[in-house]
Amino acid sequence: MFRLDNKVAIVTGAAGGIGLACTELLAASGAKVALVDCQADHLAEATKNVQEKGIAKGYQLDVTDIPAIAPTVSRIRQELGEVDILVCSAGTNIPKLAQEVTEADWDTILSINTKGLFFCNQAVAIQSMIPRKTGAIVNIASMFSLVGGPKRAPYCASKGGVAQLTRAEAIDWAPYNIRVNAVAPTFILTNLTRGYLSDPEFKAYVLDNTPLHCLATVGDVAAATCFLASDEAKMITGVILPVDAGWTAR
């Protein structure tokens, strides 16, 4: 396990799925973790669970509320300390064929997955990482930031945006010793995917297109995320790391 003692980490989308797994592993690795999520009830429960593994505190925030992001980051800095690690995991999808996508669908997906993520990156960089000339940002992208997929036009666009933002930020913030990377997971059983992965035909499609013929777990993604956030990855920046059991190798 990579040690992150005395580090302060923020995780968005922290109340469930990949975000929660990341908070648990970060806390178990010694980091003080700020769990950020828009769902108050789930956030309180998640925070309580993470506190059994280490130091953690919950902060309610909707990442689409851009003016609220900077004050939340400021509060976290005051209560937990300067931010060493940011993991942006908040995300959503509305599976539809491209011809069925509405403007509202597009705006919902892009506002969370791409716009909210960027302004979280920016707020943490400006307030805490650039002045101290240190930090690690890990954005949760998707294998669909690298390849296309059915019924995912806005999602692919949003996650492709995450990949390109990650690369661009890695260049802009390298002079400040800030590393920016992304993890690109395959299909993982979470509340976001549970509905269509319960369909035997769709699950067979996924497994048939995965060379290792298995689904990744939230723990697999958390392990890759914590590695990229750790000092062991000090020479890695601007990388989109697939955690996809070989899907994008085909």
Catalytic residue positions? 155
**Residues 6+ positions from 216 with CB-CB distance below 8 Å:** 185, 186, 187, 188, 243, 244, 245
Strand ranges, E, within 99-249: 135-140, 178-185, 240-243
Angle of helix 117-124 versus helix 66-80 axis, rounded to 10 = 40
CA distance between the termini of the chain: 31
Contact 29, 56 (CB under 8 A): no
Q: Which amino acid is it at 112?
A: I
Helix or strand or coil: residue 53?
coil
